[in-house]
Amino acid sequence: MKLYEYMAKEIFKTNGIPVPQGRVFTSAEGVADFVAQVGPVAIKSQVLSGGRGKAGGIKFASDPLEATDKARELLATEIKGLKVDIILVEQKLRIEKELYLAITYDGARRKPLLIASAAGGVEIEQVAEEKIIKRLIDMNVGLQPYAAREITRQLGLTGQIAKEVATIMVKLYQLFRKYDAELIEINPLVVVDSHALAADGKMTVDDDAAFRFGKDVPFVEEKTAVEQRAAELGISYVELDGEIGVMANGAGITMATLDLIHEFGSSPRNFMDAGGGSSKEATAGALEILLSTQPKALLINIFGGITRCDEVAKAIIQVKESIDIKVPMVIRLVGTNEEAGIALLREHGIESYRNIDEAVAKVVAFVKVKGA
């Protein structure tokens, strides 16, 4: 789950990482008063998509009137298709230096990873590899001050600034651990009046650790309504823009099924990994989701293994009888009692196969005939 910038900064602030003076608004009311206190400001739309600045999501104002106008303007716009509901108004900074600092994880090395660069302010992907410092962190030791001092040395920092940046690094790692973060990024970490502070803040926390989040971790909804419904059913679902609705069990086999649909000349409407369950309720819920996106045909690919195919078949038949399915449906079924399952489905007029190639060829043929 991605947190908004203002949420990340609130967490930074309460944990001793300095941030610019700022306030959150949901309307232009009160903006003028705030600007009268702090002087020129940056007005930043709070959206979760990257590249916000380039998309016009950040505006500057030098007096209360201008700030009110621009706040109103931003709150009425969409940034990359996302409506702006919240703005963060911050004191404008006289930036002397921009750095990049992040803590994330290296999956291949199985360890937390600190990334730092003296070339901050732009996306880290655009920074030349030799200007990026990467340091794996041993979880048994954590990020200790000595390591932070070495990184600031490599960044070319000296004196008070080096000390402050090293302190921020150590605190950032503590936050990474405390909040079960997948990523905490400060870009840019700026030097203003010879002090370091976090001019931006990104934080992604691990959904799998939600059971131990404290009250200070806000909830941010990122999913579409359909994806939300799928999540409630324990289904992993991603909407795509093709023709054939797909349901399979297992992420890898679902991906491979989508590949095969392409290979046979059609395209998938979605990715749906329905997991291991074969209950009527779960199957019905999954099919309802598929049908809600109006595919031209349905393909269900179940490699049951231990799952009993006759039970899966019964669930599908029951669902078919209770929901009006107007599009052709093809099923591939493998596992315990597969013959019985396939026979049962055929009796009820549902095309079913043991081999994946036959099933995909059939469902693509349905779509092509219809399209012709």
Active site residue 288: no
Backbone angles phi, psi at 296, to 5 degrees: -85, -20
262 binds other proteins (CB under 8 A): yes
When the beta carbons of 150 and 222 are compared against other proteins, the nearer one is 222
> What's the CA gap between 270 and 257, in Å, rounded?
11
When the beta carbons of 25 and 173 are compared against other proteins, the nearer one is 173
Residues 6+ apart with CB under 8 A from 104: 112, 113, 115, 182, 183, 184, 185
Check 4, 6, 100, 179 and give the catalytic one.
Answer: 100
Residue 328 one-letter amino acid = P
Of the candidate spans 26-34, 40-48, 175-183, 280-288, the one that interacts with other proteins by CB under 8 A turns out to be 175-183
Pick from 129, 130, 193, 208 the residue near other proteins by CB under 8 A. Answer: 208
Active site residue 263: no
Pick from 251, 323, 343, 369 the residue near other proteins by CB under 8 A. Answer: 251
Pick from 119, 170, 226, 253 the residue near other proteins by CB under 8 A. Answer: 253
Report whether 150 contacts 169 (CB < 8 A): no
Beta strands in the chain (DSSP E): 2-3, 22-25, 41-45, 58-61, 78-79, 82-83, 87-91, 95-106, 111-117, 132-136, 181-192, 195-198, 202-205, 236-239, 244-248, 270-273, 297-308, 329-336, 351-353
Alpha carbon separation from 130 to 99, 116, 157, 159 (Å, rounded):
15, 11, 17, 24
- The tokens describing 28, both together, are 């232009």
- Count residues contacting other proteins (CB under 8 A)? 49
In the chain, helix, strand, coil percent, each to 5? 40, 30, 35
126 binds other proteins (CB under 8 A): no
Of the candidate spans 40-48, 102-110, 166-174, 279-287, the one that interacts with other proteins by CB under 8 A turns out to be 102-110
216 binds other proteins (CB under 8 A): no
Pick from 66, 206, 227, 288 the residue near other proteins by CB under 8 A. Answer: 206
263 binds other proteins (CB under 8 A): yes
Pick from 81, 94, 107, 225 the residue near other proteins by CB under 8 A. Answer: 107
356 binds other proteins (CB under 8 A): yes
341 binds other proteins (CB under 8 A): no
> What's the CA gap between 289 and 226, in Å, rounded?
7
Pick from 25, 100, 271, 353 the residue near other proteins by CB under 8 A. Answer: 271
- The tokens describing 302, both together, are 């179940």
254 binds other proteins (CB under 8 A): yes
Report whether 118 contacts 162 (CB < 8 A): no
Shortest reach from residue 253's CB to other proteins, in Å? 4
Tracing tokens 């007005």 back to the chain, one arrives at: 43
| DSSP conformational letter for 289 | H
Shortest reach from residue 236's CB to other proteins, in Å? 4
Shortest reach from residue 48's CB to other proteins, in Å? 13
138 binds other proteins (CB under 8 A): yes
Report whether 169 contacts 151 (CB < 8 A): yes
Check 10, 90, 185, 338 and give the catalytic one.
Answer: 185
Pick from 38, 119, 256, 325 the residue near other proteins by CB under 8 A. Answer: 256
- The tokens describing 249, both together, are 């069990």
**3-state class (DSSP) for residue 77:** coil
Pick from 81, 140, 146, 219 the residue near other proteins by CB under 8 A. Answer: 140
C-alpha Rg value of the chain to the nearest Å: 26
51 binds other proteins (CB under 8 A): no
- Which residues of this chain interact with other proteins, rule CB under 8 A? 105, 107-108, 110-112, 125, 138-140, 177, 180, 182, 206, 208-209, 211-212, 236, 238, 240, 248-256, 258-263, 267-268, 271, 273, 303-306, 334-336, 356-357
Catalytic residue annotation: 100, 185
